[in-house]
Structure 1
Amino acid sequence: MKLFQCTNCKNPVYFENTTCEKCGNNLGYFNTIEEILSFPAASKTVYSPLQQGSALTYCANHKHNACNWLVSTESGTSFCEACSSNRTIPDLNDAENKLDWQKIETAKHRLFYSLHKLKLPTKFNINDQPLNLRFDFLAPDPNNPSAIKTGHANGLITLNIQEANAAHREYIKEQLSERYRTLLGHFRHEVGHFYWEVLIQPNPKNLDEFRALFGDDTQDYAAALQAHYKNGAPVNWRENYISSYATMHAWEDWAETWAHYLHLMDMLETSYSFGLSLDPEISKVLNLEVACDFDPYEEKDFQNIIKHYLPLTYALNSLNRSVGHQDAYPFVLSPPVIKKLTFIHKVVQF
């Protein structure tokens, strides 16, 4: 993600900030130009830098401390693009539900930032049928907490809001022997299924190349799921897959790899925005010497992206270990996985 600053006092601010700690102004994100706008704390609106006299105001979910995006007062909707995609949200009268939902919205808005950077629409017409990205955020029944499953079907992504609870998420992570489990990761994975339906399935050329790389998408999914949880992943899965779960079915391999594509693009843009470069104090390791001097969203050559990304993951994991945390990116990108990522980059870019 790019860096942001208050347009009033130039203080660096985060993507989620609603107030500048230095000058006290309100802050709102204007997705159209990918910038944080600053305006007086007493004001309810700010004028758009794109059109003279056009006023912007906070998304309706700002009152719930769940969104800092700005919408045009003339748009006919009180919700921003990200919040407009919600079909169902939990009962906000429950304080715990509300807290979970706020965390969920934070992750989802970062997802929408990435989709905007990649110029990926969220509304399509496939074979004369609308296919739109939508979300159900559901609170589980205390008497049947496992009834709500996170997943995707025909553009609708369902998320059990317990995933916003760090203790619950860590418990599931341990139960499934996962090395990585985050809210943002969930969004990036599930949205991958949506884009398979709009970028791969209707396009014969893309579908043929997909099958050559990821496998047979016509394999019975329920049977594959049952076999995966019964037998586990192949012993040598790391040679061809980004995760053990990716071995379950071609769809899951695509979704897992898609999520990692969004991970690396976001991480590289952040590094570019900070002007990061690596010049390690060890000899004869030239592949660790990189300067993040390009915007990955403008880069056509995926090999250049990978060349810069891999050293960054080593540095990131080393920094995490320095403060007693586990690796932030506990994955190895094998040559077959890089080929899959290259295919995704080509499909998205062209």
Structure 2
Amino acid sequence: MDLDTVRTFVTAADAGQFQEAAAELAVTQQAVSKRIATLERTLGVRLFTRTPRGAELTIDGQAFLPHARELLRVSERAVASVRPGRRPLRVDIIASRGAASGLMRGFHRAHPEIELDVVMLFGIETAVAALRSGEIDATFRAVAAPGRPFPEDIVAARVLDEPLDLLTGPAHALADARSVSLADLVGHRIWMPGIVPGTEWAAYYDDLVAEFGLTIEATGPNFGSDALLDTVADTPSLATFMGGHTLPRIPPGGAPGGWPAGHGLRRIPVTGPTPVYPHSLLWRRDSPHPALATLRAYLGAAVSGQDAAGTWAPDWVIPH
């Protein structure tokens, strides 16, 4: 059913005259008559009778009117649900336990009046395509990965440098260290099954290995962080990297009773230099959503420490 004909019917019913309805809709009276005739053919009934005073609803027209109004209300709600400025701000955070998730929780606490839709997209190509189509308003990524300049209509700002910590089980050779240098990690097996070739985080760890001579293994299926922590806790020869803002947050030296209970995991700061993972916010240059500016201002005020002395990031990341 054509909503223009339904809207014309409701306007004519309220006005009582096709001529007044035409003026309100900014069309000709003939156009109003044609639309009403089309709707009557679709429904198979007459909706108006002409009288010297104008147009009066038939019994069928009176029965259809409340449903026609509801059709228009549903249409308006449907449009509003996807209209920037009226729909929630849509932000891609990649993963629920990552640093971006924590940043968005902080933003929500600071601005509870702003409705949010949080989504999780995988690759940077998917995220950029969603930005350009308007499906999302912003995404957190590490950019620009080497050889992958993003389109001119996409803007990026570096918002958080997340330090990497070493995570070990209680029997690991470095478990009791207060801190470790990158040189200390040479020769140790660092297991990270979540690294996927072609992603920006794979490019990051490739550069980290090349720069400091580390051994990072991405073999085996990725069953998620819980399974990774189980394996690290039970295997003295394995360790892994975990971002300092990534959940679960295990205090340096381990948590009382370990996490999960009984695991005895140790989180050890990495120094000399501290590798940091550079999170950036990407958005479309002409994004119409008004809440995006509020998010950018919040991140600019809430986050600090980028490019700090004693830290390392690949030379291809965008400057702060």
Using the size of structure 2 for normalisation, the TM-score is 0.22
Name the larger-Rg structure. 2
Kindly indicate whether structure 1 or structure 2 has the higher relative contact order, using CA contacts under 8 Å at least 6 residues apart: 2
Using the size of structure 1 for normalisation, the TM-score is 0.21
Q: Going by fraction, where is strand more abundant, 1 or 2?
A: 2
